[in-house]
Amino acid sequence: MIQHSAFTLDAWEIREEQLDLDVLAQTESVFALANGHVGLRGNLEEGEPAGLPGTYVNSVYELRPLPYAEAGYGYPESGQSMINVTNGKLIRLLVDDEPFDVRYGELRSHERVLDLRAGTLERDAQWTSPAGQTVHIHTVRLVSFVQRSIAAIHYEVEPVDGPLRVVVQSELVANEPLPDSPRDPRVDAALSAPLVGEDHVTHDLGAVLVHHTAASGIRLAAAMDHLVDGPPETEVTATADTDVARVTVTTVLQPGQKLQIVKFLAYGWSSERSRQALRDQVAGAITGARHTGWDGLIEEQRSFLDEFWSRANVEVDGDPEIQQSVRFGLFHVLQAGARAERRAIPAKGLTGTGYDGHAFWDTETFVLPVLTYALPDTAADALRWRHSTLPAATERATTLGLAGAAFPWRTINGEECSSYWPAGTAAFHINADIADAVVRYIDATDDQDFERDIGLELLAETARLWNSLGHHDREGRFRIDGVTGPDEYSALADNNIYTNLLARQNLRAAADAAERHPDEATGFGVDDAEIGSWRAAAAAMYIPYDEHLGVHPQAERFTDHQVWDFADTKPDQYPLLFSFPYFELYRKQVVKQADLVLAMHLQSAAFSDEEKARNFAYYERLTVRDSSLSAATQAVIAAEVGQLDLAYDYLGEAALIDLDDLEHNTRDGVHIASLAGGWIALVAGFGGLRTLGGTLCFSPRLPVALTRLAFNLYYRQRRISVTVNSSTVSYRLHEGEPLGLCHHGERFTLHLDEEVQRPVPVVAARPRPTQPAGRAPARRQVNPGPARGR
């Protein structure tokens, strides 16, 4: 874990009061700034030292070989990896010819603050050079939510105890060296210098570099420009070559004088536009940013975030760590998707190269629920990206001998690049996850134009896949055999309940949408016979049940398998996939991540209260949480079945995954889905949020440690707030027409500016379920102090 006592507890900030080089890579991810289009890791402006240098532009990737010991029909032939693009963060400082480097001289003080309301990363440092010259450096960095292509840095230098000759070198650098990685050497070769120079131009205080990727054929332009405010004798020069552009500012600072530089950055890319067009695009973006000015960018950023927090804010009383971490998580979810605009939302956002920058089912199942109830237009754009990849998905289905669309398990551009079938392509539930997100978005917005133009085709093509993948057996049941559900330790199983239930919803939603939009459905080749086949498959969907144990098997006959030997599994053998062959995992009762439990969340009405309680207890003793996606879901259902303290423990695991580096891989980027899971655990878990027939339903209840929970939602052009304490809950409508709600099964109507209060029922006590030896979540112990150190 990050044993980082300098991370102070603050409801709206992540503050680091000293620089710890041992966790530099982790804090670079924590302090990353992005807007869904451009991402800047929290690297130091001077560039060195660095844990993992990183500047990313969404969907700029390079192709790489996928190695196979034995190739097979239908295996993807190449993968895609997000690349480190031209670095514009670099601002090098020389103090009387000594380069500012925190590893040399004396770093007298160093503080960084990620401000979740301002959307900025602020840095304050005082450094004495090896020659004894002391300087104060103050920087503020932002990636604009309003001006999609723009990032900016305000850089300030001031002498502390005497005159200084300073040189500031502001740079654009392409193909910067990266740390060695344990990748396949062929992959390293493809990604070590992925950008091929095309053009370099300097002008006044700015420069533009244009490159393209050798294999994927993507053209990238990066531009910088500057405003310089210094003593009258300040000199500025600009130079550029293929991979480096530099603007150098030279001056002498007397005590009381400052050198202030505002650096504007712009990024643009295209696989089709010309070099000149792309160069003009970033030049225009820079001109717009200069016109706005630094103060204008700051004001725009704050205004955007004020609107976001008015819809998405969560307040938690009783646990300062959870309060800080849930807002941190929401901020990173926003950064991952706000301006992605019909591009993928990667599992790590634009904070690092973990998972090669790929998007998974995480987006639709964990990230989009948050965005749907806060920034629905952003959720719609993410689904429009999926819609834009339909040609690749239908081609993939054809290759597999299936109808409809087979969406990829992992991808950047829409083509499958998962090289392991059982835990990748066989997880066809990705289709139903996309359909689930479509259903959720349409329910939350009543956006009939979206349903007609985007949703209908997504629902129809995914429904077609289920009709060809499944079949009616001799007993008339509709079966979906040989697939992998969310639990990747149980591959190629028959009738995975999660898959079957969400496929059933998919089939019914496709039929309903086709009947609402008959002309458009006919255009997609949908006729009454096909609609009838979807309804028949949904009605006959097989949902296995183990009568002997009184629980639902995760998949057919799962509960007949031998239970994994947890007692003799050593702590250092987790995650199990790194210590045991998949063959051993696939034929045992051991669960990597919530599967049947996730089905009980997303398809709540398919289970009775008693079934949920029994199922949850059964799968708790099998679930090892070797995936960061699991804890949030376990928190939701633990809360629903009355295990409030256990839900609270799981909430901490989901919300603190990156601030405490619980998975030991935050250096590769933050875990966007798990951070979204902090919101899910609070709002769907302790808030009890579900939707039923177009109605928002709540069943709130709190653990003893939390004295108050308040959250906002945006639903069908209405902004509502829910405030829960130990005995009562209040609902208030702040914007929009009257809205019908449901509280613990009781329906009522909420009117504008009206507050409705209802009691919180007492939860019946149940025995706390057990987990596999050594895999129980850490018990939450509230830390009320000023620092995060443990």
Alpha carbon of 710 to those of 465, 643, 667: distances in Å?
A: 41, 20, 32
Alpha helix locations (H) across 446-545? 448-450, 456-469, 497-516, 518-523, 528-539
> At 533, which amino acid appears?
S
DSSP code of residue 215? T
Of all helices (H) and strands (E), which one includes residue 303? Answer: helix 275-312
The per-residue DSSP string of 655-709 comes to: HTTTTTTTTS-GGG---HHHHHHHHHIIIIIIS--EEETTEEEE-----TT--EE
Catalytic: 547? no
CB 646 within 8 A of CB 685: no
Rounded distance between C-alpha atoms, residue 283 and residue 271, angstroms: 18
CB 489 within 8 A of CB 420: no
Rounded distance between C-alpha atoms, residue 346 and residue 102, angstroms: 32
Q: Output the CA torsion sign for 604, 607, 610, 613.
A: negative
Q: What angle do CA 403, 381, 484 make, to 5 degrees?
A: 40
Could you say which of 364, 457, 488, 640 is catalytic? 488
- Backbone φ and ψ of 254, nearest 5°: -90, 160
Q: Token digits for 222? A: 């990066």
Rounded distance between C-alpha atoms, residue 641 and residue 301, angstroms: 41
Q: Output the CA torsion sign for 60, 65, 68, 70.
A: positive
CB 669 within 8 A of CB 353: yes
Question: What 3-state DSSP class applies to 285?
Answer: helix
Instruction: Dump strand ranges (E) for 160-214.
Output: 164-173, 195-203, 206-213
Task: Report the interhelical angle of 630-640 vs 644-655 (nearest 10°).
Answer: 160
Nearest to 705 by CA among 780, 788, 786, 760: 780
Rounded distance between C-alpha atoms, residue 774 and residue 790, angstroms: 20
The per-residue DSSP string of 342-368 comes to: SS---TTTTS--GGGG-B-THIIIIIH
Give the total residue count for the chain: 790
Residues 6+ apart with CB under 8 A from 701: 639, 642, 644, 686, 688, 724, 760, 761, 763
Rounded distance between C-alpha atoms, residue 194 and residue 83, angstroms: 7
Task: Name the residues annotated as catalytic.
Answer: 488
